[in-house]
Amino acid sequence: MHNSFISIVTPVATTEDIQRLSGHLASLHSMLEASFSDYEIILVNNTGGREFGEIIEPLPAALKQNIFMLNLSTPVNRNHAFVAGLDRSNGDYTVIFEMDFCQHPEYVLKLYEESVKGSDIVYLRAKKRRTKIRFRLFYKLFYWILRTYSKLSIDDHAHDSRIISRRALNSLLRLRENLRYMKAIYSIVGYRTTFLETDIPLQADQDSFNEKFRTSLVAITSFTSFLRSVLLWIFLSSILFMLLVIFNAVKVKMTNVDIFGDVHEAIPGWTFLVVLTSIFFAITCLMLYIMSIYLSNIYQEIKHRPMYIIESVKRFA
C-alpha cells in the first residue's frame, strides 16, 4: 500500500468510451483500493451534453464517492479536455489515463512506481504507431518540423497517458495558453522525464484529419520558428530570382539572346519594367520577413510564458 493521494483524469469523448466506462472504473477501483491510501477519479465529459449517470449509479458506493464528473458545456479538443481534468486534480500525483488502457489498470501502478524512483513525468511510449498509410508522411513531416525548428523534446510515439508529480503539475498549470499542444507544453515545463514502453499501439487516427491539421498548425505556429524560416528562404530566393531576371533582361537588351540561348528582339522599356518589378518583388519579400520577426516577438510576449521554472532550491550548511 502506497501512502500517496493519486488522481486519475480520464476524458470521455465518444460512444465507445461510454460503453467501456463501467469496466474501466471497476478495474481502476480494484487496483487503486489495493495500492493507494487515497485516490480520486476525475471524468471529463467531453461528449457534448450526453449523460452517462446511469452507468455510474450501479457502481459500489466506495467507488462512487471517489468519482468526480466534469461536464463540459460543449465539446473541446483533447488537449483542452486534459487541462479541465488537470485543473481539478488534487493528488500528490496525477495520472492522465486514456480509455485505450481501460483493460490495463496496472499501468497506473507501473507509472507511479517509476515516478517515485525520481522522475516527475513518466509517459507510456508505444512501440509502433497505428495509422493509415496516407497519413504517415503527414506525421513524419510534422515531427521533423518540431525537431528541426524548436528546442522541444517530443517523442513521436508517446501516448497522452502519463503520470505527473504535484510540483510538475503546478508548473504546467502556470502556462495558461488557449492554443495548446500538450506534448510541447510538457517539454517546456521540463523536470525529470522518462517513459515506459507498452505493446499497445498509438492510435493516431482517433481524430479526423481536420482536427489533426488544426493541432499541427497550433504546434508549428506556437512552438517553432518554422514559418519565419520559410519567409527567410522566400526572401533569399526572391533576391536570387531578382538578380537572375535583371541579368537576363540586360543580356537580351545587349545581345538579343537570353540566358537559355534563345534569340529575342529587345523591346524598348521592357528591360526597365522587368528590373523595376523584380526589385519591388524582392523588397516586398523583405518587408514580409521583417514583419514576421516583429509578429513572432509580439506573439511570444503576449503568451506570458514563464521565463524560467525553478525545480528545487538546495541549501548547504
* Strands 2-12 vs 158-165: parallel, antiparallel or unpaired: unpaired
Residue 151 main-chain phi, psi, to 5 deg = -100, 15
Query: Which candidate, 202, 82, 183, 90, places its Cα nearest to that of 135?
Result: 202
| Lowest mean pLDDT, pick from 39-48, 227-236, 262-271 | 262-271
Q: What is the pLDDT of residues 114-140, one digit of tens each?
A: 898 888 999 988 887 777 777 777 888
Kindly report the average pLDDT of the chain as a whole number. Answer: 80
Per-residue pLDDT, averaged over 287-314, amounts to 65
Q: What is the pLDDT of residues 10-35, one digit of tens each?
A: 888 877 878 888 888 888 888 888 88
pLDDT band at 304 (very low <50, low <70, confident <90, very high): low
Q: What's 99's DSSP letter?
A: G
Give 62-67's long-range contacts (Cβ < 8 A, gap of 24+). 62/29, 62/33, 63/25, 63/26, 63/29, 66/29, 66/32, 66/39, 66/40, 66/41, 67/25, 67/40, 67/41, 67/43
Q: What is the pLDDT of residues 71-108, one digit of tens each?
A: 887 887 888 888 888 888 888 999 998 888 878 888 88
pLDDT at 266: 64
**Percentage with pLDDT > 70 across the chain:** 88
Q: What's 101's DSSP letter?
A: G
pLDDT band at 314 (very low <50, low <70, confident <90, very high): very low
pLDDT band at 295 (very low <50, low <70, confident <90, very high): confident
- Per-residue pLDDT for 256 more than 90? no
pLDDT at 164: 92
Using the CB atoms, write b or e for 267-305: b if 16+ within 10 Å. eeeebeebeeebeeebeebbeebeebeeeeeeeeeeeee
Q: What is the pLDDT of residues 208-242, one digit of tens each?
A: 667 777 777 777 777 787 877 888 888 888 888 88
pTM: 0.74
pLDDT band at 308 (very low <50, low <70, confident <90, very high): very low
